A and B are shown apart, each in its own frame.
Chain A
Amino acid sequence: MNQKSLPTSDPILCGARHALFWMVAANSIGLLLSLLLLAPKFGLIFGELTYGRWLPLHLNWQLYGWTALPLVAWLFFLLKESTRSLARASSLGIWAWSTCLLLGGYFWLSGHTSGKIFLDWTGTMRVLFPTAILSLWVILALAWWKDEKRSLIAIPGLLVLLAVPFALYFAADPAIYPAVDQSTGGPTGASLLNSTLSVVFLLLLVPRALRHPPKSPALDRKLRAFFILNFILGIYAETLPSSHHHPGQIACLGTLLIWPILLPLYYSRQRWTNPHPRWQRALLVWFGILVLNGFTSFLPGILDRIKFTDALVAHSHLAMAGFTTSFLIFILQQILPPDRAKIFDHTPSFISWHLATAGYLTLMLASGILESFPNSPLNLHYLLYGLRSLCGLTLTLVSIHWWRDLNS
């Protein structure tokens, strides 16, 4: 599908536009939050809308806006021939999704919250948002049904996607809480392993889902086998004692360290029809750092010190601004028409984004380490938080630049 034939309601482009809009919105609020931490008295100008009211907007708009919508656009890309006739409905489904995020923002700011971080859907919104997701699923299912070359392999995928809105509804129940490592109050090694493996699964899926033929089918098979073994190990880890001091938990999580080596090998052996090596390299590098940082942070003696500190804020931003953003932009470059995809190759914004992300991580890591020594004579709080705001400003400006370019 070339750019000239794109209808104005093209769902892929619509999804990308909405995703970048939410990236701008979430980053702007992130910047505001960093300023509120730097100078709390400025919060007085917002009256009741204090730091704690704004934070859910930042978290949820990053997750359900910027992270989720490019994946929705990717799904439309997979069925792009048959979604053409459903393009209008698909775009309206994306608008419904965004409206729910906007309404969610209003309710979170009003103090209506379930208290569940990243699952903060309560009241009517707990029904409305999953319904919007379900409406998109119906469109996808219809598109698959209309596809003359429809493949039965897609059925399990559609069934998994069908479970998403229901899972979201039930997971948002305040009475449900995941397994906890008693020694830290945080997630267990097994849950970290399994959530990272779901990301690995997605990374392995990318070339096939984009219908790129492999250069080396043998390597594909070996990696799939290794992934299944790792997955079984993940299930086994759930049966081990949950403490991060337990050698079994450490060893199981340690198996992830092989993926930053295997994935670049796997990606180098693909026939990319739409190569964007810059963002592909970025995503693989950030993934490597993420896994290494995640594993190191889990180790006894380290996690005991950095738990509840800015060092884990650094890890979250490494995951979102570093790896996830690189991954999503790489995906968008694969599914958008070339003249739109190239906006992400703008060198100054590419460099600014990654430098600001790296700066952010370094600063928060330093802040976390200082925090883990509560009686440290060094008080660099204002310096580190001030520089952090500058990094946040850079990230916001770059996202505005991408959003503006995509809409121009």
Chain B
Amino acid sequence: MITFLRRNGSGIILIAATYFYFLIFAQFAFIELLNADLDSALKPMMAAMAVSGIIGSLLTPRILHRFGATPVLRMALIGCGATSALAIPAHHFATYLAISVGLGLSLGILTISLTANLRSLLSSRSWGLAIGCGTGLAYACANLPPIFATTPENQALLSAACVLIAFFSIGKMKENTEIPPLASSSKTISFPLAVLTFLALVWLDSAAFFIIQHTPALKSSSWGQSHLWRNAALHFSFALLAGYLLQRKRVTLVTAGAFVILTIASLCLNHPDIALTGGWLYPAGVSLYSTALVACPVYLTRFKNPHSPARAAAILYSVAGWFGSANGIGMAENLNHIPLLFLAIAGCIFLLPNLLPHFKSHRAEALVVLGLTAIAFLFSASPGKSPAQALTGHQIYLSEGCIHCHSRYVRPDSPDLIMWGPVVPLDQLKKEAPVTIGNRRAGPDLLNVGNRRSHAWLKQHFIDPQSLSPESSMPSYRHLFEGNDPRGEMLIDFLTRQGQANFAVRVEIIQGWKPAPSGSADGKSLFAKNCAACHGTEGRGNGPFSKLWSKPPANLIEGPFIYSREGSQNLDLSLARIIKFGIPGTDMPGHETLSDDEVVALAQRVKIMR
């Protein structure tokens, strides 16, 4: 450990300080200060920073060539420190503009001169871990609650202090020309591919960052006080992991891993129900690729010319860093989500370079693949069409794969009969093409579902299954109801027709059923779990879902009691049957899987509410 720090200490401090400065000052404190003083000037200031950042980056190779690494790094650090210190007293447009330009130039020069000269700062044996350590430290520190939550002025001062420490940590650095070149390795990536890869990653990261930052619920759940320690730990761990993998030349694993994680995070952010998961994934993906981005110019791409790393870094950070970041933010700002098309294009950027070399050596195979694909699409009736355009409810049932979780078969002389009955003869079922008996019941049997569930209930269940069945594994099919898509309604029409012909037999089954309790159950908790969503916690018919139905749910305290009149001979039995089987023809569903003990306990609970 001590040897590791002795060999890499200066490099780790410089990487950590640079990233910390970028994260805390350039991304947060400066924008906060600017917003407080000149809200409307944010966009021109950001544009000025981006343009000067690109200019600074592109000029750095020449500056490095002329002055050498050590003085350039020191000058850039002074520039960064000065801009953050000057931002505190600034209040006027012109001052902010000057700071924006200075910040862009200094940061541009600092990142290029640092990443192009890492070999003189880090040990050749442990550069990966050192870069991971520096990057992870910066992200972790930036997420520490006392730093993250302090005022922008304090953050600006902290950033200035950090670059000052970095300034004093620089010793006499060797120039790239004085260091023997790295051994060539087949596992490094080509420079154009690296630029495209990091462009996609930065673009994705910036868009996700913007969405989190500008969605209050997401911001509090991703960067709220209670999540900051989690984020710090995730950032540090994944940066170290990335460093370890990069040292072992697992470049594609790191970048592809970052892409997959950021893609899933982005997809999660597009859906409010699962957006919080994005908060877990985002720090992991960002740290993976950020570590690789630092290592890329020197360690991950091959150059013969010792001055090339600086040029490579300049192009990489200009295109992927500044350009990618600006476009990612622009995309999120305009669309407020991350489009699937963008994710698909970014995915192709990862896949195509890996596939193209294989095409050259497998031309005949490529022809077979392309030929068959062409035939499949040319001769298919509607390969690209959505199933909605032609189909019946039965076909939508097949298309959506309902058969994989729902049977359509009631076994004679079995408990199926009470729950899902009546039986439909096998010969009649075998006339359907295809037969959809199925072989799994992750959900209930649907053979007679039309006798048990109303149109409104099915629709709500398709849109948000867990709202009605909290432990259900069923996915949401809300997309079938979006816009003018007719599929949802067609599917429900198909389901509500199931069992209609057997309605009278179903009623007979219900009338023939009597509970046979063998123990007891907690009616109060059962009511809260199964009834309160519609009938309300007190049973007044005012639960959160009460407005979804064609008629409001019964007020179980005051009535009127249409289906279970007070004083009727078998009130207990009527209530039990309603609970177990629902009220056919209304939105009241059955609770077929409840045991007799539970049904009786619930009936008692409902009875004493009156």
A88 to B368, CA, bound (A): 12
Distance to closest chain B CB from A385 (angstroms): 8
Q: Within 8 Å of chain A (Cβ to Cβ): is B426?
A: yes
Q: Are B412 and A124 in contact (CB under 8 A)?
A: no
* A309-B441 contact, Cβ under 8 Å, with A45-B264, A92-B364: yes
Q: B59 — which chain A residues lie within 8 A by C-beta?
A: none
Q: A115 — which chain B residues lie within 8 A by C-beta?
A: 398, 403, 434, 436
Q: Are B402 and A52 in contact (CB under 8 A)?
A: yes
Q: B386 — which chain A residues lie within 8 A by C-beta?
A: 111
A103 to B368, CA, bound (A): 12
Known contacts A52-B404, A99-B369, A110-B387; 12 additional CB pairs below 8 A are A37-B442, A40-B474, A41-B273, A44-B273, A45-B267, A45-B271, A50-B475, A56-B401, A111-B400, A174-B434, A177-B434, A312-B440
Q: A124 — which chain B residues lie within 8 A by C-beta?
A: 375-376, 379-380, 383
Q: Are B411 and A110 in contact (CB under 8 A)?
A: no
Q: Within 8 Å of chain A (Cβ to Cβ): is B40?
A: no
Distance to closest chain B CB from A403 (angstroms): 15
Residue A180 contacts which of B268, B426, B433, B436 (CB distance < 8 angstroms)? B426
Q: Within 8 Å of chain A (Cβ to Cβ): is B407?
A: yes
15 contacting pairs across A/B (C-beta < 8 A): A40-B465, A52-B400, A52-B403, A53-B399, A53-B401, A103-B372, A103-B373, A111-B400, A115-B434, A124-B376, A175-B433, A308-B439, A308-B440, A312-B439, A375-B594
A44 to B275, CA, bound (A): 10
A56 to B471, CA, bound (A): 24
Q: Mark B265-305, 1 if CB is under 8 A from A, else 0.
A: 00110110110010000000000000000000000000000
Closest to B264 in A: A45
Distance to closest chain A CB from B481 (angstroms): 12
Q: Within 8 Å of chain A (Cβ to Cβ): is B405?
A: yes
Q: Are A50 and B400 in contact (CB under 8 A)?
A: yes
Residue B383 contacts which of A43, A92, A112, A174 (CB distance < 8 angstroms)? A112
A56 to B434, CA, bound (A): 15
A105 to B482, CA, bound (A): 25
Residue B473 contacts which of A40, A99, A103, A375 (CB distance < 8 angstroms)? A40
A48 to B479, CA, bound (A): 7
Q: B430 — which chain A residues lie within 8 A by C-beta?
A: 177, 180
Q: B594 — which chain A residues lie within 8 A by C-beta?
A: 375
Q: Are B439 and A117 in contact (CB under 8 A)?
A: yes
Most buried by B among A36, A51, A102: A51
A106 to B430, CA, bound (A): 29
- Chain B interface, >50% SS class: loop
Q: Within 8 Å of chain A (Cβ to Cβ): is B365?
A: yes
Q: How large is the interface on A (under 10, 10 to 19, 20 to 34, 35 or more residues)?
A: 35 or more
Q: Within 8 Å of chain A (Cβ to Cβ): is B205?
A: no
Q: Are A123 and B381 in contact (CB under 8 A)?
A: yes
Residues of B with Cβ closer than 8 Å to A?
Answer: 264, 267-268, 270-271, 273-274, 277, 340, 364-365, 368-369, 372-373, 375-376, 379-381, 383-384, 386-387, 398-405, 407, 409, 411-414, 426, 430, 433-442, 465-466, 471-477, 479, 593-595, 597-598
Q: Within 8 Å of chain B (Cβ to Cβ): is A95?
A: yes
* A183-B439 contact, Cβ under 8 Å, with A51-B404, A107-B383: no
Q: Are B475 and A96 in contact (CB under 8 A)?
A: no
A40 to B461, CA, bound (A): 13
Q: B435 — which chain A residues lie within 8 A by C-beta?
A: 177
A398 to B413, CA, bound (A): 45
- Chain A interface, >50% SS class: helix
Q: Within 8 Å of chain B (Cβ to Cβ): is A42?
A: yes
Q: Are A42 and B274 in contact (CB under 8 A)?
A: yes
Q: Are B375 and A128 in contact (CB under 8 A)?
A: yes
* A99-B412 contact, Cβ under 8 Å, with A45-B264, A56-B401, A185-B407: no
Closest to A111 in B: B399
Q: A88 — which chain B residues lie within 8 A by C-beta?
A: 364
Q: B407 — which chain A residues lie within 8 A by C-beta?
A: 185, 308
Q: Are A304 and B271 in contact (CB under 8 A)?
A: no
Q: Mark A300-314, 1 if CB is under 8 A from B, else 0.
A: 000010011100110
Residue B372 contacts which of A36, A54, A100 (CB distance < 8 angstroms)? A100
Would you list the 7 A-B pairs with minimal beta carbon distance, nearest first? Answer: A52-B401, A111-B399, A45-B267, A375-B595, A174-B434, A185-B409, A308-B441
A126-179 interface with B by 8 A CB criterion: 128, 132, 174-175, 177
Residue A96 contacts which of B372, B398, B414 (CB distance < 8 angstroms)? B372
Closest to A93 in B: B368
Residue A116 contacts which of B434, B477, B593 (CB distance < 8 angstroms)? B434
Distance to closest chain B CB from A102 (angstroms): 8
Closest to B425 in A: A182
Closest to A186 in B: B439
Q: Within 8 Å of chain B (Cβ to Cβ): is A47?
A: yes
Q: Are B369 and A95 in contact (CB under 8 A)?
A: yes
Closest to B407 in A: A308
Q: Are A374 and B411 in contact (CB under 8 A)?
A: no
A308 to B387, CA, bound (A): 28
Q: A116 — which chain B residues lie within 8 A by C-beta?
A: 434
A13 to B369, CA, bound (A): 19
A40 to B442, CA, bound (A): 12
Closest to B394 in A: A115
